């Protein structure tokens, strides 16, 4: 059977602006053909076995000519493949989606158009510029700033466009800005009309240059503004100061390295990006099965009735414990009247998902905190189960044993150095492009250093943010001076600490 091609508008840059249907099409695709302007985060929706083909085109550099892209789509569809063609913005707004669709139709192949959010509107919106406003602009036009070079003469009706439309939005026009502004003025547009260029609109590295029609070309040259950028002309530009909301956030322009495990990084990334940061997810650890392949944990579960306490020290420990409990065809009823302690509110929340409310959550989210609060509840011969990571500190079991308790330590998981290419991260650190490095555990500290070849000097020019004092102490032991230490040892606490730090700096 012949396949199908989904021509998907990938949106203007912010990965969150992809449509639900667009995401669904990516998930089921056998092949994903993507552009320069399509955010790489969208590839996270792809199936593990999906073939990824980059066909990006920049102003002066084409990976593949348009005719070759058309043929690629035809060939893959003829092979019976489901193809997701990711195009920046909207496929039919100067995206050449029409040409690709015609090539498919001429070959008798199926296709569907999945509209996307165009940068013509969204880049301006993220700059605080509405393309229309009831009292200022009743019309707007989207115009190509880069016409087909094979045309004998311009297809743009400059005379009517210059004075007949309130707001003009030019796409791909940075290189032709002298010609565009000259035509607008020559055809009646007031030279002092407000204008703005929005580079990398909707992305954390967005730049906005406010100017006028007569000064735009000179200002672009003066400030070295490069493509891709949207050129907006009209009195609506005056509203930017009042409606600016994106590029004035607390962490806007800050590039942050997230070292957490890949499947756990999203909450930290989302919280920091909500504050305007640009996050690089570079997982330094990977969560894997314990060395004994759960033998110790399974044995403890089989004898679960012998314990008076279970102390969970991490959310991972909770998840792995209940996975093995279910594997034994047991549920929470097997815990009987056992008392449960959880180090940290995040650990306690994961327990709640399994229908268990912790009897004890210390105010200080560390081993020392739980020791202080358990106090007299631990007596001689009290049997305690401690399911945790292989690499966990010995403070908790050592002190419990000193109090006379019988402690069974079982491995739920182990953290290992992630299989990740860190050359690009090292280059960014060396160039001073990363402003903050976050550490959420001691293992993220030691594993990052291992991946960087123990070149701690690469972190010398960055702000180091730690989730708590234990992680901070690991930094110091490795010659790294932590700048930020969260007062509340949670992801939310870490985000708040980073936010508060930059409030003071700013």
Query: Residues with catalytic annotation?
Result: 35, 57, 172
> Positive or negative, the Cα torsion across 425, 428, 429, 434?
negative
162-165 long-range Cβ contacts below 8 angstroms, 24+ apart: 162/186, 162/187, 162/188, 162/189, 163/187, 163/188, 163/189, 165/139, 165/140, 165/141
Cα(131)–Cα(317) distance, integer angstroms = 51
- What values do phi and psi take at 441, rounded to 5? -170, 165
Given a contact cutoff of 8 angstroms between Cβ atoms, the answer to whether 411 and 384 are in contact is: no
Q: Is 217 helix (H, G, I), strand (E, B) or coil?
A: helix
Which helix H or strand E contains 273, and what residues bound it?
Answer: helix 266-274
**C-beta separation of 3 from 80 below 8 A:** yes
Q: How far apart are CA 125 and CA 181, in angstroms?
A: 22
CA dist., res. 439 & res. 241, Å (int): 36
Helices (H) and strands (E) in the chain, counts: 18, 22
Query: CA-to-CA distance for 254 and 265, rounded, in angstroms?
Result: 17
């Amino acid at each position: 059977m012949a396949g199908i091609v989904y021509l998907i508008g990938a949106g203007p840059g912010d990965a969150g602006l992809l449509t639900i249907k667009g995401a669904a099409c990516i998930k089921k695709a056998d092949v994903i053909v993507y552009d320069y302007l399509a955010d790489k985060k969208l590839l996270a929706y792809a199936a593990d076995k999906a073939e990824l083909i980059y066909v990006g085109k920049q102003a002066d550099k084409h990976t593949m000519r348009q005719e070759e892209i058309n043929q690629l789509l035809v060939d893959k569809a003829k092979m019976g493949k489901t193809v997701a063609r990711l195009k920046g913005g909207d496929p039919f707004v100067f995206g050449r989606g029409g040409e690709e669709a015609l090539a498919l139709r001429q070959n008798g192949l199926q296709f569907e158009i999945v509209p996307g959010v165009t940068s013509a509107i969204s880049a301006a919106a993220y700059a605080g510029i509405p393309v229309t406003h009831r009292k200022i602009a009743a019309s707007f036009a989207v115009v190509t700033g880069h016409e087909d070079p094979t045309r004998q003469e311009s297809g743009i009706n400059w005379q009517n466009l210059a004075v007949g439309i309130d707001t003009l939005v030019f796409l791909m026009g940075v290189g032709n800005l002298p010609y565009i502004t000259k035509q607008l003025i020559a055809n009646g547009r007031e030279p002092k009309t407000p204008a703005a260029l929005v580079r990398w609109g909707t992305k954390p590295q967005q730049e906005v240059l406010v100017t006028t029609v007569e000064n735009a070309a000179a200002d672009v040259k003066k400030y070295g503004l490069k493509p891709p950028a949207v050129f907006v002309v009209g009195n609506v530009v005056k509203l930017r100061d009042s409606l600016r909301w994106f590029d004035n956030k607390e962490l806007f322009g800050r590039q942050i390295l997230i070292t957490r495990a890949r499947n756990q990084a999203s909450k930290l990334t989302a919280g920091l990006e909500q504050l305007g940061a640009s996050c690089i997810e570079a997982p330094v650890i990977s969560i894997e099965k314990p060395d004994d392949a759960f033998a110790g944990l399974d044995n403890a579960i089989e004898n679960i009735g012998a314990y008076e306490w279970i102390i969970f020290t991490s959310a991972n420990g909770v998840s792995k414990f209940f996975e093995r409990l279910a594997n034994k065809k047991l549920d929470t009823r097997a815990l009987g009247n056992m008392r449960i302690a959880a180090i940290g509110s995040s650990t306690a929340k994961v327990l709640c998902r399994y229908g268990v409310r912790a009897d004890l959550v210390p105010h200080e989210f560390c081993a020392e905190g739980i020791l202080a609060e358990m106090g007299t509840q631990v007596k001689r011969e009290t049997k305690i189960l401690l399911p945790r990571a292989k690499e966990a500190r010995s403070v908790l079991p050592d002190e419990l044993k000193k109090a006379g308790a019988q402690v069974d330590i079982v491995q739920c998981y182990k953290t290992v150095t992630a299989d990740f290419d860190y050359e690009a991260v090292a280059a960014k650190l060396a160039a001073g492009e990363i402003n903050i490095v976050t550490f959420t555990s001691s293992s993220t500290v030691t594993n990052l250093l291992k991946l960087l070849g123990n070149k701690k000097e690469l972190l010398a020019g960055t702000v180091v943010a730690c989730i708590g004092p234990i992680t901070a102490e690991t930094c110091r032991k490795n010659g790294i001076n932590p700048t930020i230490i969260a007062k509340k040892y949670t992801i939310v606490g870490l985000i708040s600490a980073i936010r508060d730090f930059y409030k003071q700096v700013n």
